Structure 1
């Protein structure tokens, strides 16, 4: 049997790409299980050699003449990157990306969130431009991060032409023509930034461009090999690919194969064969400890296969020269109103408390008419007491009862949830999520009770004025859009300027709100809520 080392896999991927460019069919060499076993022997050595090379190329010598804001600039920092000074570990990341690119290898940049993956990618594209690779380049990212990509390009590499590929179909059709046109001071094809959704919708159009580099932000979505995004991105012609992710690799064969297939489709092209190499069912009825040990060895081997294509640094591994994160947990007690609602939910009496208890269903006959509640005979004959005055009194009682039933509600009650835990969470966040009082015009009542009935808002009402006095801007995150509604009412009550960001906003509105100089920014995201 002929064995392939990991170095041979990389060279084969590069050779296959070169043969495709020359119009020749690539002679793919299939991997057997023995090949994988053989590869694992040299993975650690290859990793060490690559690491040594990266460190050697990132010696961080300072340029004798270049300075940004009075600070010296590392020699390895691209000349087009003029918006700041890169940190040493970022220079190391750019050098690693350059090594992969020069060898025709795709990669995964998996630095922990906050270490500047976006900046390293921007610097890498600047380096490619300096080497006369004039684009076009494609960045595919979640819609929420697209504005950040554009602003970071404009901030750090102002000479690089950047295009937002978004909008209506007619608008995108016009943009497609511009992609094939050299532009800007560098006379380059643009860096095209688009969202996951648009890249899938317009894949047939984007497929007509020969992309020099493809960057996929939030690349952990590629782990799902059956999702449409993976299928569409694989069809885009590109010289090199880079996945960005802040999450570590999962111990799942299918997910690991999906990453390998996206990075090296010439080698890892059959999931069934891949799984057969690591089939532990052939072990038969053996001890569970041996099976678990075998599984761990397999996953460790797969992680080694990915090692040369993966760069991951944690904040603890680098010197950020910033103060450590300070986290203060403030507990908010329940108000009297919250306690009564909370106890009613626990005791299953919330509907009765709010006057929403359903009446018992009325029994009907087989003909559909309501059944009589008594078998007593009814005498329909008129008597001396059935006077006109008595009839008028009866009609008046009916009229008053109808008025009571049709009277405007004094509160909007939301008890549609069947999930008790979610209802309890609403009570803990704010009682208005369960019962929001209304004014005479049937509008939500915004007064001091909005603050006084919620323990969390009482604390927030003390924090925000103090932060405002110190000139701070504040980010408030919430898992519920209904909480954002209440926070908007609160900001209106206190006269705070605010901007709201959630998934229902259009791209243009989102970008405008992010650009505003505001005191309070309300964002919808996930957070933990405890009583």
Structure 2
């Protein structure tokens, strides 16, 4: 029957008893007559239609309606039974007396009790009715009583038994509630309907304590079970409620509150054994799986009680000569709660008065908070001392670090309470993964976790001396020492000059050597200063500047300084074969006074004595591996590794070989010190400063695994602290103001033997033909043949496969190009790669596809030019754009690129400029680096020389290969084909 919102209506709440779910409420709206009385016209109201009756609802009504929706039988079935079923089938199954689901019944009851309690609290001031048996919602009105009733429990003990019953007072008067049809609507807390009153109770009494007396005057407790009943039940009532007793005594007392933490070991593995040492201390077999159980209690005079939430009192039962005394001890709930909160703030996660931690964490916590526990007067007590008694006093580790001539001296005092322990012994235990030590009094001290964490690297890297109280640490661990000092973990005495290495900006300025024929940019000068400083202290270094920032120039300045200052000894420079010629060119340009020996080739003189006649010996990794016995017989001033990632695998032959070399100083150069894994650092850093990162096993366990598998921020920080003074890395973005807008360099490549053989065959063939033609018919008649021959030679200089598709050998230039592509990508750069040969781009394309490197591509056959440009410009994942000269020389805006690779030289330098300008134009915010790849001893190198000789002519007149060739003289042609 619908209720009209246009007419007066009243919201009511109706209480009824469900066969299985107990007492429930339902909400209704009832139409009022013209005198404001309830009519029989009513309608159920739920959250769905409540807004229709908003004019008659307040905030609490919406809450009540929602709660009542949640306790209706349909809602209960839907929540606790996911399959579609009828409510009657659900209840018959779950509440079957013999085969019903008792656990589910309890879960449902708890769900309903929580909501009943909330509903009853919100019903104040509302119209409440009992529902009639015919479903009439407003059958009998119930009045919600604001005053809370009090309960007094009575116990009368006589010789035979004890009578037990409660009495209830409301408004100060005894309430007659037994045998009156009273019933409990909710038990936790208790709410009772007595006649037409809905009442609640002080102290939130459990309704189940009243339920037995609804139709019973008292309960009889036989004498034979009274002691058990008193202990389990009556003590709880005495502690929480008002009790009137006759026949036994209730003694109410007050004491000071004394918090106490009881702890014991929960051993989950087999017990360990103790083994004594002559010193009186011993390592103890660690129980790696054991945990410590903390139980929080509170002492009140002679009594100790477990933690409870908001306790008012606790009771201890005492029996004397057949009589009973209930000692009711008042509890300081505020102090107990504050104690729990303070412990939880400090990391002791107490739940129900208990907390567990791993053994190492537990004793670390006790050690860290010993001062707090003492100040709060919290006692510590071990409850299982029969097996192993733990030391819980003060643990102290004091460390002093003093700078010696070649080492740091480490002096330390270790104390557990009154006992002093040898620092060397402590270190050995920790390095053996032991975490306990037996003290002379038999107690077992757990080494604080904080010591292991804070001093892990120190313990690993220290070395022994003759003095048991002093250990030593190599000076290249200065960052570790400084970190201890900054963390107030050690007293440090260090030379101020050495301290400056921590802050790179503070390193003093050194003069550039007189024999250096160039100018160092500010950041290059800073790198030179840094290497000079490392040299003074015999530290090894890793110059890891971004590609193109001049690692070669900085290193040559250092080698020139070494020549002028101190050393007549040769230095050894090892690199990939393809870089040797570039180093030769740079050395001749910037350090012409350096005497350089290129120790390569099958005809090399395998005699170490010759090294003394040179300043610099240049060789390859391959030759080093083959000739290690010869090279390791000479004591070099510097051993320098270029592209040092070549030794990142310590088990490789080359890594093992270079570590056999002898030198005063070591230096490595790389743009990518870390390519794939944190472990890449270990071999390289261990080469320049042996022992800096410990053993390979130690590094993997302490750094690689925590950093890579667990993303351990603190381990990352510590690793950075250790290596920071010895790695100098600047990226282009950091030194942009020191760079020109465009940075150009030539990258020389060496042909492979098979490639060189093909080149020489073709060159001989065309040279003879062309020179014959010139002699017989003149230059003009030989131009076409010359163009064909030069084109073929240029293609072979790139890769013989461009001329012979069946060629299976390698190309020196391709190796260099792919290497530099990988290096640039690893550093996050975007690259434009130009070639005038589509076939050459095809070879690069094959390589990129094989390596699964995404790229954009543009040649004359590309239909969607703009799509490829947008793909490169807008997608950060695409780092490479392959472009043919004819298709991409003009009209493209590619400002996202900061590297340009010109794979082959063009006759007209202006065309090269146009290609570079695809990246270097308005909108470009980065410095553009251009690399021109030239194959040594090929026509490419000679074209480069001709370009310089005919630069003015080329700039003004020459636009194509044909026009360039027309300007060549017989001498030019002869030179090209030499």
**TM-score (structure 1 length as normaliser):** 0.52
Are positions 1:161 and 2:595 aligned together? yes
* Distance verdict in 2 for CA 1:166–1:100, change over 3 Å: same
Q: Could you say which residue in structure 1 is the equivalent of 2:87?
A: none
CA distance in 2, matches of 1:118, 1:201: 25
Q: Is the 8 A contact 1:217 1:243 kept in 2?
A: yes
* Distance verdict in 2 for CA 1:43–1:172, change over 3 Å: farther
CA radius of gyration, larger in: 2
Are positions 1:80 and 2:505 aligned together? no
Q: Is the 8 A contact 1:104 1:239 kept in 2?
A: yes
Are positions 1:42 and 2:482 aligned together? yes
Determine helix, strand or coil for the equivalent of 1:212.
strand
CA distance in 1, matches of 2:648, 2:840: 41
CA distance in 2, matches of 1:324, 1:499: 17
Q: Which has the higher strand share?
A: 2
**Deviation string, structure 1 residues 397-416 (Cα, Å, up to 9, x no partner):** xxxxxxxxxxxxxxx999x9
Q: Could you say which residue in structure 1 is the equivalent of 2:606?
A: 173
Q: Is the 8 A contact 1:77 1:123 kept in 2?
A: yes
Q: Is the 8 A contact 1:431 1:453 kept in 2?
A: no
Q: Could you say which residue in structure 2 is the equivalent of 1:298?
A: 715
Q: Is the 8 A contact 1:217 1:245 kept in 2?
A: yes
Are positions 1:322 and 2:744 aligned together? no
**TM-score (structure 2 length as normaliser):** 0.30
Q: Could you say which residue in structure 2 is the equivalent of 1:246?
A: 671
Deviation at 1:213, TM superposition (A): 0.3
CA distance in 2, matches of 1:172, 1:512: 30
Which residues of 2 match residues 218-297 of structure 1 at below 5 A?
A: 218-247=643-672, 249=674, 252-266=677-691, 268=693, 270-278=695-703, 292-294=710-712, 296-297=713-714
Which residues of 2 match residues 49-128 of structure 1 at below 5 A?
A: 49-50=500-501, 52=503, 54-58=505-509, 76-81=511-516, 83-128=517-562
The alignment covers a number of residue pairs equal to 332
**Deviation string, structure 1 residues 35-65 (Cα, Å, up to 9, x no partner):** 445665734969983255654523xxxxxxx
Deviation at 1:307, TM superposition (A): 0.5
What are structure 1's unaligned runs of at least 5 residues?
A: 15-28, 59-74, 182-188, 282-288, 327-411, 417-427, 435-450, 478-497, 502-507, 521-531
Deviation at 1:235, TM superposition (A): 0.3
Deviation at 1:178, TM superposition (A): 2.4
Q: Could you say which residue in structure 2 is the equivalent of 1:307?
A: 724
* Distance verdict in 2 for CA 1:433–1:164, change over 3 Å: closer
Q: Is the 8 A contact 1:251 1:299 kept in 2?
A: no
**Deviation string, structure 1 residues 449-478 (Cα, Å, up to 9, x no partner):** xx97788657259679x975555658999x
Determine helix, strand or coil for the equivalent of 1:194.
strand
* Distance verdict in 2 for CA 1:473–1:198, change over 3 Å: farther
Q: Is the 8 A contact 1:452 1:458 kept in 2?
A: no
CA distance in 1, matches of 2:940, 2:405: 45
Q: Could you say which residue in structure 1 is the equivalent of 2:565?
A: 131
* Distance verdict in 2 for CA 1:78–1:499, change over 3 Å: closer
CA distance in 2, matches of 1:134, 1:246: 30
**Deviation string, structure 1 residues 322-351 (Cα, Å, up to 9, x no partner):** 11689xxxxxxxxxxxxxxxxxxxxxxxxx
**Worse-matched range after superposition: 213-222 or 257-266:** 257-266
* Distance verdict in 2 for CA 1:499–1:139, change over 3 Å: closer
Deviation at 1:149, TM superposition (A): 1.0
CA distance in 2, matches of 1:91, 1:458: 38
Q: Is the 8 A contact 1:90 1:120 kept in 2?
A: yes
Q: Is the 8 A contact 2:693 2:699 kept in 1?
A: yes
* Distance verdict in 2 for CA 1:190–1:241, change over 3 Å: same
**Worse-matched range after superposition: 451-460 or 196-205:** 451-460
Q: Could you say which residue in structure 2 is the equivalent of 1:147?
A: 581
* Distance verdict in 2 for CA 1:107–1:190, change over 3 Å: same
For the aligned residue pairs, the C-alpha RMSD in angstroms reads 4.8
CA distance in 1, matches of 2:717, 2:885: 51
Deviation at 1:96, TM superposition (A): 0.8
Q: Is the 8 A contact 1:9 1:267 kept in 2?
A: no
Q: Is the 8 A contact 1:430 1:453 kept in 2?
A: no
Q: Which has the higher helix share?
A: 1
Higher relative contact order (CA 8 A, sep 6+): 1
CA distance in 2, matches of 1:277, 1:199: 32
Q: Is the 8 A contact 2:569 2:637 kept in 1?
A: yes
CA distance in 1, matches of 2:740, 2:405: 38
Q: Is the 8 A contact 2:538 2:665 kept in 1?
A: yes
Determine helix, strand or coil for the equivalent of 2:597.
strand
